[in-house]
Amino acid sequence: MKSRKNDCDILLDNAENAMNDLGRCFGSLLDEKQTKMDVVGTIFGFGKSLTKLTLNVGICAIKNTPKAVVAVASAKREFVNTLEIEYNNYQKQLKEEALDDKIKQLKLKK
């Protein structure tokens, strides 16, 4: 059974291919023995690899957007809940301190 590559592996493979094609492109530009057609061929090869990488990045972004939205919403919800709990604890502490101050004032009046 052939294992299916995940999105990250595909993107890394495409990026590696694009970088290899870019290296060949620079190599053919600097090699004086290469013909103009060879140079143009390596430039088109790099363009093809770069286009493939760009398309796969777009597909990956579209495919994983719902997961990212859910993760962000979950993190936001957790953050807001934590803030709410801390705010309520702070308000409770302020009320307790105010009550303690009133008790002290009443004891001093006696």
- pLDDT tens by residue, 4-17: 777 778 888 888 88
What angle, rounded to 10 degrees, do the helices at 36-109 and 7-30 form? Answer: 140
Backbone angles phi, psi at 7, to 5 degrees: -60, -40
> Letter for the amino acid at 3?
S
Query: pLDDT of 30-85, one tens digit each?
Result: 777 777 788 788 888 888 888 888 888 888 888 888 888 888 888 899 989 999 99
Say if CB 39 and CB 29 are below 8 A apart: yes
How would you class 25 by CB atoms within 10 Å of its CB: exposed for 0-12, middle for 13-18, buried for 19 or more? buried
The model carries a pTM of: 0.55
